[in-house]
Chain A
Amino acid sequence: MLNLDFSILNWGLIQGFILKGLWFSILLTAVATAGGIFFGTLLALMRLSGQKWLDAPAALYVNVMRSVPLVMVILWFFLLVPLLIGRPIGAEYSAVVTFIAFEAAYFSEIMRAGIQSIPRGQVFAGQAVGMTYGQNMRLVILPQAFRNMLPVLLTQTIILFQDTSLVYAIGAYDLLKGFETAGKNFGRPIETYLMATVTYFVISYSLSSVVKSINRKIAIIR
């Protein structure tokens, strides 16, 4: 049995290695969720538009993104974005762009289901009071779709938070990288991997408990 030594865990280590990574993981999750929901909603609207020239490219984009491993998408963007804009960008910026583009595909499927869950009568009611397509979506359909899909959107956000650890592939400095770097510097990799495990577990488990209680609240209101 190996002797574990957790004495390296102190405020200095947290401040020096962990906070920077934790901050990036949270930032990446937040930006990717916001951007993913925004572009995902646009993709969902394209797919539900009934216009072939909007539907087909959106469907192609979503299906391609969903059939490729996230790690490969991260590598693709890290390779292609600098070629397209003509200058190198850091691993962190590349990760943000990748996650928004990748998550948009998953969020679009959720938003599509959410929009389809709204009874047709709601659409007709909006039209009957003279709303334009944009007004109808913004004021009648999307608010209800968001509300219906809130638990699923939040669950996807938790998965997204866990997936941020995959930026390891391009060497971005996230929570996992923070623990790993600390482990290398102090020569205690086993202990820091265990701390990383506990940290991820506590964050994800608390978030999923929050989602469960939101689920219960929504169930009561209905």
Chain B
Amino acid sequence: MAMDWMVFCKDTLSGDVVAGCFGKGRDITYLDWLFSAWGWTVSVSLTALVVALVVGSIIGVIRTLPNSPWLTRFGNGWVELFRNIPLLVQIFLWYFVLPALVPPMKNFPPFILVVLALGLFTSARIAEQVRAGILALPKGQRYAGMAVGFTTVQYYRYVLLPMAYRIIIPPLTSESMNIFKNSAVAFAVSIPELTQYALQVGEETARPIEVYLAVTVLYAISALVINRIFAWIEKRARVPGFVSSGTGAGGH
């Protein structure tokens, strides 16, 4: 099976090979399109990651609050709800069902709907990690915060969370890599990201192997970059003398 990498240099309309492989003006080549698809994958994933981190942290924290059984129940329910429905089904819920039930959502761009679906799906997993991180700290830390007169918000902000986040960097790393992989599911609602590109261009050019290879390599590169960024954060944020549960483990 001979590979034909010139397929990426072809103009998407005329199918002619363009010198330099990048299109000029309004003509685009399959290579231009590939990078645009990568951009969609990266922006869907990163935006969803921000949503997941914010919502996941809030849900994770309220599941550990003392004397708030209803908030804890809400948090537990949230996690069970988003963890027990397949991501693809959740995407369809956000894309087809919710706009039909809540008319104002009809005006939401697909990008936002997919980001919400992916972000909230991941928030349940991050909430589990945040909760585990907080519970992994010795109880004395909480009491110490109380003893010096901190309010609940203060001892979470200054005592518990700074250490809890450091503990959960390794699982957060794999969850962030997962979000890139899971963003592939957005093809089902025609977001022009990498998997959608693979399906469409693979068919259009009749060169699926080259197209799939390029897309697969870009997914792997994305995951690797995220992995390195988190490794850097972990190193920078390390507290001397504090051995977190994650250090020294083989990782990926």
B89 interface residue per 8 A CB criterion: yes
Which residues of A, 155-198, contact B by the 8 Å Cβ criterion? 162-163, 165-166, 168-169, 176, 189-190, 193-194, 196-197
Inter-chain contact A176/B86, CB cutoff 8 Å: yes
Chain B interface, number of residues (Cβ within 8 angstroms): 40
Cβ distance B105 to chain A, nearest Cβ, rounded Å = 12
User: At the interface with chain B, which of A16-24, A62-70, A119-127?
Assistant: A62-70
Contact pick for A168, options B1, B188, B208, CB 8 Å: B188
Instruction: Tell me, in angstroms, the Cα distance from A202 to B212 when the chains sit together.
Output: 36
Contact pick for B85, options A64, A79, A204, CB 8 Å: A204
A208 interface residue per 8 A CB criterion: yes
User: At the interface with chain A, which of B8-16, B93-101, B157-165?
Assistant: B93-101
Instruction: Tell me, in angstroms, the Cα distance from A201 to B100 when the chains sit together.
Output: 21
Inter-chain contact A79/B181, CB cutoff 8 Å: no
* A70 CB contacts on chain B under 8 angstroms: 181, 184
* A83 CB contacts on chain B under 8 angstroms: 1
Inter-chain contact A196/B89, CB cutoff 8 Å: yes
* B100 CB contacts on chain A under 8 angstroms: 2, 190
* B173 CB contacts on chain A under 8 angstroms: none
Cβ distance B173 to chain A, nearest Cβ, rounded Å = 13
Counting chain A CB atoms within 10 Å of each CB, the highest count among B81, B84, B183 belongs to B84
Which residues of B, 97-111, contact A by the 8 Å Cβ criterion? 97, 100-101, 103
- Chain B 78-90 interface mask (CB, 8 Å, partner A; 1/0): 0011011111110
Which residues of B, 216-249, contact A by the 8 Å Cβ criterion? 216, 219-220, 223-224
Inter-chain contact B212/A79, CB cutoff 8 Å: yes
B185 interface residue per 8 A CB criterion: yes
Instruction: Tell me, in angstroms, the Cα distance from A2 to B96 when the chains sit together.
Output: 12
> Contacts A68-B219, A71-B195: A63 and B252 contacting too (C-beta < 8 A)?
yes
Inter-chain contact A72/B223, CB cutoff 8 Å: no
Inter-chain contact B84/A208, CB cutoff 8 Å: yes
Inter-chain contact B80/A205, CB cutoff 8 Å: yes
Cβ distance B129 to chain A, nearest Cβ, rounded Å = 15
B198 interface residue per 8 A CB criterion: yes
Instruction: Tell me, in angstroms, the Cα distance from A83 to B184 when the chains sit together.
Output: 24
Contact pick for B212, options A75, A165, A194, A197, CB 8 Å: A75
B199 interface residue per 8 A CB criterion: yes
A200 interface residue per 8 A CB criterion: yes
Cβ distance B181 to chain A, nearest Cβ, rounded Å = 4
* B219 CB contacts on chain A under 8 angstroms: 67-69, 72
Inter-chain contact A190/B101, CB cutoff 8 Å: yes
Contact pick for A166, options B80, B88, B216, B224, CB 8 Å: B88
Inter-chain contact A166/B185, CB cutoff 8 Å: yes
A221 interface residue per 8 A CB criterion: no
Instruction: Tell me, in angstroms, the Cα distance from A162 to B87 when the chains sit together.
Output: 8
Range of interface residues on A (Cβ < 8 Å): 20 to 34
A64 closest partner in B (C-beta):
B220
* A197 CB contacts on chain B under 8 angstroms: 85, 89, 93, 97
A1 interface residue per 8 A CB criterion: yes
Cβ distance B12 to chain A, nearest Cβ, rounded Å = 20
- Chain B 200-226 interface mask (CB, 8 Å, partner A; 1/0): 001000001100100110011001100
Contact pick for A193, options B87, B96, B184, CB 8 Å: B96
B150 interface residue per 8 A CB criterion: no
> Contacts A67-B219, A69-B195: A201 and B184 contacting too (C-beta < 8 A)?
no
Inter-chain contact B181/A75, CB cutoff 8 Å: no
A207 closest partner in B (C-beta):
B84
* B81 CB contacts on chain A under 8 angstroms: 201
Contact pick for A79, options B88, B97, B209, B220, CB 8 Å: B209
Cβ distance A24 to chain B, nearest Cβ, rounded Å = 15
- Chain A 3-27 interface mask (CB, 8 Å, partner B; 1/0): 0000000000000000000000000
Q: Known pairs A200-B84, A201-B85; list 5 more (Cβ under 8 Å).
A: A75-B212, A79-B208, A165-B86, A189-B96, A200-B89
Give 23 pairs: A residue, B residue, CB < 8 Å, sorted on A.
A2-B100, A63-B252, A69-B181, A70-B181, A72-B184, A72-B215, A75-B195, A76-B212, A76-B216, A80-B209, A83-B1, A162-B84, A162-B87, A166-B185, A169-B199, A189-B96, A190-B101, A193-B92, A193-B96, A193-B97, A194-B97, A197-B93, A204-B84
